[in-house]
Amino acid sequence: MARKAQRSQPQRPNQPADRWFAYGTLPLRLFLGATFVYAGLQKISDPGFLQPGASTYIGTQLQSFAAHSPIGFLIQVFALPVPQLAGIGVIAVELAIGALVLLGLATRWAAAAGALVNLVFFLTASWSVQPYFLGSDSIYVVAWITLVLLGDQGVLTVRPVIFGPPGQGDSRGRPATTDLSRRRLLVQLGGASVALVWVLALLPRGRASIQAASSSATPSPAASPIASPAGTRIGALADLQAQGSLVFQDPTSGDPAVAVALDGGSVVAFDAVCTHAGCTVSYDSGAKVLSCPCHGAVFDPAHGAAVVSGPAPTPLASIPLQVGTDGGVYAA
Ligand code: FES
């Protein structure tokens, strides 16, 4: 009886088992906080992030996101008119959230803001990534929600330094009364949020699946000139070979596209929409690769636009080319 009564007593906070549980939240908190601080610093250290015309310019990224995101209208209204301000805002928010979480100050509120930021990234930067688990933002949302539910548990925070030692009650100095209905509501909200992210992740995305299917095609080198080439003339072969590349609009899909003159004289063309999250790739004539400004994916045009590095899951979609006896290059 005595053992049974002892077992049924609720555990008090700060018992050894609770402390171990509390420390269990620390790796998640440190990782998320440090990652957000790093993400902010990385944008600050990128000289092209706020520079129009640069390959990593935030305005270019926002344009791509607006074109492929279910919340693209919000980007068009609020971010695209002031891209640099939006970029500075993202940096400030990332640094603030990361610092608060690392310091253990307003951890739950900061984690909720982090979940919101990553949800926006998930609906924009990662929206075209298929399947969803190849994009990182969905798991960040879930990780932030977990931190919202758990809080920092009073472990390694600067609160005692700033606000003084905790008084009676829980580790944060608040009354020990357990607000069960509030906790239950938090857990239910957290569960609903995770379920929502998962459902969103599983929604079909037409563009991405079309790209995945077509990207297995092999690029067509322009062989000997044809008297009556099929397709739309995109430019002169002499210009393409002199410049190294030529941007045009894919006559079939309407997407931005790029033709590249390879060593040896043949020409290839690809849909310029990155298979990671839909940004527009451009040709780097120095490195002879196609690179994406958003998350750094690199594709090799000489090998079917195969992914050389970065997060893109598949090669760029190939566009067949023909060269006419008139010296023109035609996209079929
Ligand atoms: S959109 Fe992310 S690497 Fe291209």
36 Cα to the center of ligand 1, angstroms: 19
User: What is the rounded average pLDDT of the residues 258-278?
Assistant: 89
Q: What does the pLDDT read at residue 308?
A: 78
User: How high is the pLDDT of residue 204?
Assistant: 66
CA of 281 relative to ligand 1 center, distance in Å: 8
pLDDT confidence bin for 24, thresholds 50/70/90: confident
**Ligand 1 atom, smallest distance to 296 CA:** 3
- Check pocket membership of 316 for ligand 1, CB cut-off 6 A: no
- Cβ 321 under 6 angstroms from ligand 1: no
| pTM check: above 0.75 | no
Looking at residue 17, what is its pLDDT? 65
Which among 128, 292, 307, 309 is the best mutation to test ligand 1's pocket, defined by most ligand atoms within 8 Å of the CB?
292
Q: How far is the CA of 100 from the centre of ligand 1 (A)?
A: 29
Residue 207 clears pLDDT 50, i.e. is over it: no
What is d(CA 56, CA 50) in angstroms, rounded to the nearest whole number? 8
Centre of ligand 1 to C-alpha 294, Å, is 5
DSSP annotation of 185 reads: H
Tell me which architecture the domain covering 214-331 has in CATH: 3-layer Sandwich (2.102)
Q: Could you tell me if 304 and 257 are in contact, meaning their C-beta atoms sit under 8 angstroms apart?
A: no
pLDDT (0 to 100) of residue 15: 64
Q: Is the CB of 95 under 6 A from ligand 1?
A: no
User: For the ranges 122-126, 137-141, 184-188, 258-262, which has the lowest average pLDDT?
Assistant: 184-188
Measured in angstroms, how far is the CA atom of residue 73 from the centroid of ligand 1?
20
Q: What is the mean pLDDT of residues 6-26?
A: 65
Phi, psi torsion values for 169, nearest 5 degrees: 110, -145
- Comparing 206 with 43, the larger pLDDT belongs to 43
**From atom 1 of ligand 1, which residue's Cα is the shortest distance away?**
277
Contact 206, 214 (CB under 8 A): no
Residue 312, ligand 1, Cβ within 6 A: yes
Distances (CA, A) of 23 to 16, 78, 155, 295: 11, 40, 6, 33
Structure tokens at 196: 């929502």
Q: Tell me the β-bridge partners of 284.
A: 289
Ligand 1 binding pocket includes 279 (Cβ within 6 Å): yes
Cα 286 to averaged position of ligand 1 atoms, centre (Å):
20
Q: Is the CB of 173 under 6 A from ligand 1?
A: no
> Which of 141, 150, 331 is CA-nearest to residue 252?
331
Return the best residue to mutate from 68, 122, 136, 279 for the ligand 1 pocket (most ligand atoms within 8 A of CB).
Answer: 279
44-57 burial: b if 16+ Cβ within 10 Å, else e: eeeeebbeeeeebb
The rounded distance, in Å, linking the Cα atoms of 296 and 311 is: 8
Among 58, 276, 298, name the best residue to mutate to test ligand 1's pocket (greatest count of ligand atoms within 8 A of Cβ).
Answer: 276
Greater pLDDT, 127 or 154: 154
User: Mean pLDDT over residues 32-38, rounded?
Assistant: 96
Task: Give 291's strand partners.
Answer: 282, 298
CA of 9 to the centre of ligand 1 (A): 54
As a whole-number percent, the residues of the chain with pLDDT over 90 amount to 36
Dump pLDDT digits (tens) for 233-257: 998 988 998 899 999 999 888 889 9
CA of 77 to the centre of ligand 1 (A): 23
Least confident of 103-112, 146-155, 290-299, 315-324: 290-299
Has residue 60 got a pLDDT over 50?
yes
Distance 295 CA to ligand 1 centre (A): 5
Q: For 84-141, write each residue's pLDDT tens digit.
A: 999 999 999 999 999 999 999 999 999 999 999 999 999 988 887 767 887 789 999 9
pLDDT-derived band at 199, boundaries 50, 70, 90: confident
Cβ proximity of 155 and 170 under 8 Å:
no
| pLDDT at residue number 229 | 74
Q: How confident is the model at residue 209 (pLDDT cuts 50, 70, 90)?
A: very low
Amino acid 113 reads A
User: What span, in angstroms and rounded, lies between the C-alpha atoms of 267 and 222?
Assistant: 5
Non-local (6+) Cβ contacts of 157 within 8 A are 103, 104, 105, 107
**Does residue 268 surpass a pLDDT of 90?**
yes
Regarding the beta carbon of 292 and ligand 1, being less than 6 Å apart is answered yes
Res. 189: pLDDT tops 70: yes
Backbone conformation region of residue 14, classed left if phi is above 0, alpha if psi is from -120 to 50, else beta: left
The per-residue pLDDT for 103 is 95
Is the N-terminal amide bond of 166 cis, ω within 30° of 0?
A: no
Q: Please say whether the beta carbons of 30 and 100 come within 8 A.
A: no
Domain spans of the chain, in order of start? 2-203, 214-331
Q: Which atom in ligand 1 lies closest to the alpha carbon of residue 310?
A: 3
The arrangement of strands across the sheet holding 267-271 comes to: 245-249, 256-261, 267-271
